[in-house]
């Protein structure tokens, strides 16, 4: 992993994703978390402050070791036990049907083999468990899509493989999930190219 990916990208992501507008979305998504939780794309631990008391333990998955130094402060301040793992979401070392809740916040955009990661998420989620997410992705507006496709190669280089043009709804549905709730909208504090959001919860079909 390059110096840029290991040192610069974590700090850029931590800064851009720490604002109050983003925090409001985190609170909405995480309010439904409970039991034993797996958070994929844990990053610098920005979600930790918003988990409710219904969560008993959090396991993490993030492949970038550069996130670790920034995450430690948030882990130490957490009121919930955190089991920290530096690993890829495509190959999770957890038992089948282990977790009550799996969380993904602005993560599916940057996983190289996102279909495999979603298969793993489904595998380790309990039959009555819930997959909670907020992700940015492909806009329904054809004119916006053109620029999302054009800008994605640059976005991937600058921000750790982040795609602007993934159809998150389709990706999740294709891997055997049923949506309990799903909201699609432009976030007012983001550009249209990176601000079309998919927020909701899904269960195993």
Its pTM stands at 0.95
- Show the tokens assigned to 33: 């978390």
The torsion of the CA quartet 113, 168, 8, 76, rounded to 10 degrees, works out to: -100
> CB neighbours (10 Å) of residue 100?
19
d(CA 84, CA 111): 18
Q: Where are the domains of the chain?
A: 3-204
Residue 60: pLDDT band (50, 70, 90) is very high
Q: Does residue 1 carry a pLDDT above 80?
A: no
% pLDDT > 90, the chain? 84
Percent of the chain scoring above 70 in pLDDT: 100
- Looking at residue 18, its pLDDT comes to 87
* Closest of 132, 160, 159, 163 to residue 148, by C-alpha: 163
CATH code of the region 3-204: 3.40.50.150
The confidence score (pLDDT) of residue 13 equals 87
Q: Provide the 10 A C-beta neighbour count for residue 1.
A: 12
User: CA torsion, points 97, 95, 102, 3, in degrees to nearest 10?
Assistant: -160
């Amino acid at each position: 992993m390059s110096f840029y990916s290991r040192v610069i990208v974590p700090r850029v992501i931590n800064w851009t994703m720490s604002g109050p507008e983003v925090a409001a979305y985190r609170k909405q998504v995480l309010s439904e978390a409970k039991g034993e939780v797996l958070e994929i794309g844990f990053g610098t631990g920005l979600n930790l402050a918003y988990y409710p008391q219904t969560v008993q333990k959090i396991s993490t998955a993030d492949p970038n070791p550069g996130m670790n130094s920034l995450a430690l402060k948030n882990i130490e301040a957490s009121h919930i036990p955190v089991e920290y793992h530096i690993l890829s979401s495509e190959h999770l070392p957890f038992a089948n049907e282990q977790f009550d809740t799996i969380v993904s916040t602005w993560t599916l955009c940057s996983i190289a083999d996102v279909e495999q990661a979603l298969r793993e998420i489904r595998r380790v989620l309990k039959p009555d468990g819930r997959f909670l997410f907020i992700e940015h992705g492909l806009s329904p507006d054809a004119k916006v899509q053109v620029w999302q496709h054009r800008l994605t190669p640059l976005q991937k280089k600058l921000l750790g493989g982040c795609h602007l043009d993934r159809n998150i709804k389709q990706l999740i549905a294709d891997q055997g999930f049923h949506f309990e709730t799903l909201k699609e909208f432009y976030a007012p504090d983001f550009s249209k190219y990176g601000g079309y959001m998919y927020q909701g919860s899904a269960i195993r079909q």
